[in-house]
Chains A and B, each alone.
Chain A
């Protein structure tokens, strides 16, 4: 009797799963005209953002971007936890020979310019090509330049983790504020301003600044951790 009931339940479950599965319609055109027209029109008319890619990445698919940032965070955490013990056993970097004075002086001059470029790229993410990820990577290359030129240049891990956590909290907090004000997670709730203005696009600049800080802190942490790993010579 018990077996019959189990078989019947399984059959019912299988039937419903099967009908749902075969009704999905793989390969069917779900949108007759595609969604591109909607994105292009909505971006300029209602969001007042000149960079359509940014508006898709941060506004229409903001949840996806939050996932990407989380994946990066997870990767950095995993790397840090793998290399943590070895770093504490050794403590210093293995350097074959120190950089020449040309490189040290030059990188001291170039470092502020690189940081400024990175900040520019992520602040203007909604106006020009670029955005939080790209700007963060540029800032991390600035720190890489300093770490390569100066043997004893050190980055505070405490500050890196504080910046990273604050940026993540800002991203998620903006999403929750959208939940409270607009109705859905990461909904735009700020005034969108005028097209091609620096202060426009609603929550997009805030999110991109947070993403820029987060990516910069994470990648700087990765570079620092890997450079301080001894063993490979």
Chain B
């Protein structure tokens, strides 16, 4: 199943291997489609003695994240994975993990939130966690999910950051598709992630600490400002980690988002996750026909790279922002961010919001090509547009 360094692996297998190579002290998780196989593969690695981690099987995701917070506070390198309802149930404790500055790395296999109940991909689960204080990185394919899981470890544990990191990959589209990926050698990853040295390990009995205490109005605000500062430190640290990772992997990562044929484009699409791959194919086809089109794919959604994105988009003619989740009664979350980033520009591009892919609704090349065609129309309505939905 391998050819040189290349292997055919599902997204599950790729993430489980990243976890094996990181060799966390503790993994606490609860199964949910489409995440389950990540932890199943990882548990097999543990059972086979390929990794020394302690896997804690718990009775819910709320407990999973609670165990992760306790383990991280104790000073253990800690990872977990979840999806959809699991993340929703976990969310209360994700806020606490962030506020306690627990550098937990978690995978989210993006899946629509109920109801109606649905197991397929959209981004409603991770978007619900966007204000929790967790760093969010979105991957386009299994390779990016692998690479970012490794980079996330370094980012989370950076002393100027110390925040949980969520790495997402689209459920089924990436988790259940066997695709070509390259894994780094185990010892390369070991060297890259290094030893974790916790700042305030609870198990350091010679230096006792109280963790997760109560705050009155006199300190809550200041503790939140600490989180703000940590989040502000993320972009610079992420770029440093990317540079180091690019050197050892021969894969090029340099930025908070990927610009694809964007520089001289008049028309651009902004979107997260696996659909970016399909959009690149469309961009290439339209470029062959002489159309000046491009793509901007944020890797990082939290913190949001507003300033950099403004520079990349401000001179475009028109921009379509694709959201794979709804914020009922408002625009999509990605659209609001892009719109806000451009708000002070005098000659900003025409800006449109498209909702797509809810509950696993497919989006094909033709749908994306139609949006680029839409963008050429200066009279295009600035209402919410729905792609491949029976409106």
A binds B: no
Chain A residues close to B by CB (< 8 Å): none
